[in-house]
Amino acid sequence: MRNYDTVDFHAHPVTAAFRESLSALGVDPIQDDGFPLPAWSAETHLEFMREAGITYTALSIPAPHIHNGDDKKSCEAARIINEELSEIVKSYSDSFAFAAVLPLPCVEGAVAETAYAMEELGALGVKVATNSNGVYLGDKSLDPLMEELNRRNALAIIHPCRARQRPENVITGTVAAIYEYPADTTRVVLNMIANRVMTRFPNIRWIVPHCGSFLPYMLQRFAGVSGILASMGMMETVNAQEEFAKLYFDIAGDPEPVALDMLRMVADDSHIVYGSDFPHSPAKVITAKKRWK
């Protein structure tokens, strides 16, 4: 297997199939996330990789999530998107791999798409939203998918999705990337910890985005409060530190001068991987950040 100097675990192919699927599902990126989808092509992505010194990229579809309440249409969208991603990767196999998008919260469809994408399309794993129409990772209804991913030793790349309910009259309720993305990432990981997902399904390799979002602050607080709740019989006892230690984290977003140092206070360096967030973060902005190189 080829050795790669810098692998990017957080980059988004905004493909034609993805755009067309959102349109067919009636999902409007601006209405959903408050931000338009950026332009993307494999050629411009490869040019960015050359400029940034990135040798390999694991592509994963961005928000918004491809579920509008219709399981059948969402399963069809996942299949079309994944097949297009597979063709892109085949054309540039020395530079790209991909994580398959899943039609959650349709668990049966997600299990079937995982099998198809990993066995037939060559996906290295899956991309999962923090929540899918309000169903969060860690929910017991998703256990059949967790069992499938665990059986396959799959990589699971988490990407934030706005909460189904949020305040509309404040700046944090407009563009999801300002606050809702890190908030929902933090929310879902705490839910996964509370439900012992990492211990119950130890073979899944989870990548949490954006330097763990608010987790460097919340981990100690959650460990303390959950211990109190467990002593009162209000939740099951959970070793938050043990669950957290099994996670990996990418540094997409703005890791310096604060976020990366905060993450390193709670996560081992061996569990921190690179993420560019291209093309949502422009190439010039990304390449200006030199310390991590």
CATH 3.30.750.24 assigned to 7-287: no
| pLDDT value at 235 more than 80 | yes
117, 129, 159, 264 from 59: Cα distances, Å: 14, 14, 12, 25
What percent of the chain has a predicted confidence (pLDDT) above 70?
97
The dihedral of CA 143, 148, 149, 151: what is its sign?
A: positive
| pLDDT value at 292 more than 50 | no
Instruction: Using pLDDT thresholds of 50, 70 and 90, give the confidence band for residue 290.
Output: low
Q: Which region among 31-35, 43-47, 185-189, 274-278 has the lowest average model confidence (pLDDT)? A: 31-35
pLDDT at 207: 98
Q: Which two tokens stand for residue 118?
A: 């990993």
pLDDT at 288: 84
pLDDT tens column, 114-172: 999 999 999 999 999 999 999 999 999 999 999 999 999 999 999 999 888 878 788 88
Specify the 3-state DSSP secondary structure of 144: helix
Look at the pTM and tell me if it is higher than 0.75.
yes
Pair type for strands 131-132 and 135-136? antiparallel
Q: Which region among 1-15, 56-70, 205-219, 252-266 has the lowest average model confidence (pLDDT)? A: 1-15
The dihedral of CA 104, 81, 19, 64: what is its sign?
A: positive
Q: What is the mean pLDDT of residues 182-198?
A: 97
pLDDT at 173: 82
In whole angstroms, give the CA distance from residue 189 to residue 197.
9
DSSP secondary structure code for residue 278 in this structure: B
- Largest Cα–Cα distance of the chain, in whole Å? 57
Specify the 3-state DSSP secondary structure of 280: coil
Q: Which region among 60-69, 170-179, 181-190, 228-237 has the lowest average model confidence (pLDDT)? A: 170-179
Average pLDDT taken over every residue of the chain: 94
Q: Which two tokens stand for residue 226?
A: 């959950």
List all residues 6 or more positions away from 200 whose beta carbon is below 8 Å from its beta carbon.
146
The dihedral of CA 50, 158, 13, 120: what is its sign?
A: positive
Q: Which two tokens stand for residue 207?
A: 């990548």
